[in-house]
Amino acid sequence: MNTPVLQVEGLTKTFGGLTAVDNVHFTLPGGGLHAVIGPNGAGKTTFFNLISGFLRANSGSVIFNGENIIGRKPHEISRLGIARTLQIKSVFTGLSVYDNVWIAVMGQSRFLNPFKSAGSYTDVAANVEAILKDMGLSDFAKELAGNLSYGDVALLEISIALATQPKLLLLDEPISGMSPSETKHTVEIIRGLSTRLDVILIEHDMEVVFGAADVITVMNQGAIICQGSPEAVSNDPSVQEAYLGTPGEEDEEELSA
Query: Would you give the distance in Å from CA 98 to the centre of its chain?
Result: 22
Residue 213 engages other proteins in binding (rule: CB under 8 A): no
Residue 55 engages other proteins in binding (rule: CB under 8 A): no
Closer by beta carbon to other proteins, 77 or else 187: 77
What minimum distance in Å lies between the beta carbon of 161 and other proteins? 8
DSSP string spanning 96-130?
A: BHHHHHHHHHHTT-S---TTS-GGG-HHHHHHHHH
- Among 213, 257, 252, which Cα is nearest to 233's? 213
Closer by beta carbon to other proteins, 131 or else 239: 131
Residue 75 engages other proteins in binding (rule: CB under 8 A): yes
Are 81 and 168 in contact, with CB atoms under 8 Å apart? yes
Site for other proteins in 104-123 (CB under 8 A): 104, 106-109, 112-119, 121
Residue 88 engages other proteins in binding (rule: CB under 8 A): no
Q: For other proteins, which stretch binds (CB under 8 A), given 20-28, 76-84, 203-211, 223-231?
A: 76-84
- Within a 10 A sphere around the Cβ of 149, how many other Cβ atoms? 12
What minimum distance in Å lies between the beta carbon of 206 and other proteins? 28
Closer by beta carbon to other proteins, 56 or else 75: 75
Site for other proteins in 130-159 (CB under 8 A): 141-144, 147
CA distance 81 to 65: 9
CA distance 208 to 201: 11
Closer by beta carbon to other proteins, 2 or else 122: 122
| Residue among 68, 90, 179, 238 that touches other proteins (CB under 8 A) | 90
CA distance 142 to 137: 10
What minimum distance in Å lies between the beta carbon of 88 and other proteins? 11
Are 30 and 5 in contact, with CB atoms under 8 Å apart? yes
Site for other proteins in 3-42 (CB under 8 A): none
H-type alpha helices, the chain: 44-51, 74-80, 97-106, 122-134, 150-163, 180-194, 206-212, 230-235, 237-244, 247-256
What minimum distance in Å lies between the beta carbon of 151 and other proteins? 18
| Burial of residue 248 (number of CB atoms within 10 Å: 0-12, 13-18, 19+) | exposed
What minimum distance in Å lies between the beta carbon of 136 and other proteins? 18
Size of the site for other proteins (CB under 8 A): 44
Q: Interface residues with other proteins (CB under 8 A)?
A: 52, 54, 73-75, 78-79, 83-84, 90-96, 98-99, 102-104, 106-109, 112-119, 121, 125, 141-144, 147, 160-161, 163-164
